[in-house]
Amino acid sequence: KAGVTQTPRYLIKTRGQQVTLSCSPISGHRSVSWYQQTPGQGLQFLFEYFSETQRNKGNFPGRFSGRQFSNSRSEMNVSTLELGDSALYLCASSFLTGGGQDNEKLFFGSGTQLSVL
Amino acid sequence: GENVEQHPSTLSVQEGDSAVIKCTYSDSASNYFPWYKQELGKGPQLIIDIRSNVGEKKDQRIAVTLNKTAKHFSLHITETQPEDSAVYFCAASKGGSYIPTFGRGTSLIVHP
């Protein structure tokens, strides 16, 4: 089956702009999580959506937001971009109804590399 | 909240050697410990995981051990091959949270 798809693969923006990233989870998965990956900070959790509701949130400013649609596809938005927002943004899907303990396993996409100039 | 420390940050070995990566966690309520491998240009991929009711788990050349008392767990790779070169992340989570806390990663380099 198809894996997690993230678009676009690369993005270049300037400070002050906003950006929207997209994630299509594995078919049947109901949870989508977003992570920011930088060389200095590793994998930092942004937020998780489950059945169109934000279920968990990390310690990021309000400029970072997201949503999930009825087909489980998710988008994240970053407004008023700062240089420090340059990072690889990863999305991960999980949670099949009836999946039991396997629901803790995350399946990652290849990420969107965002560069803020 | 949970804090996961991972060592070493870089590990260089010769092909055929063994590699060991160690992690410690702070929250005694954590009960799920996955390991992810990230190759260049790709997202992390789950390679093995262990739950707190098990002390050791093996899958071919990789194994994970867990010491709940000391709150540390380790990844062991035997007979390393160049294709094992990647960044490895450990993580810890509590049952039902589904949000793991990741270590900072170990860059494993296997020299042919």
Q: What is the pLDDT of residues A35-73, one digit of tens each?
A: 999 987 889 999 999 999 999 999 999 999 999 999 999
Whether B10 contacts chain A with CB within 8 A:
no
The verdict on a CB contact (< 8 Å) between B43 and A108 is: yes
Whether B85 contacts chain A with CB within 8 A:
no
The band of B1, judged by pLDDT with boundaries at 50, 70 and 90, is: confident
Distance between CA atoms of residues B52 and B47, nearest Å? 17
For chain A, percent helix, then strand, then coil, each to nearest 5?
A: 5, 50, 40
Average pLDDT, whole number, for chain A?
93
User: Tell me, what's the pLDDT at A48?
Assistant: 95
Strands B72-77 and B62-67: antiparallel
Q: Residues of B with CB below 8 A from A43's CB?
A: 44, 89, 102, 105
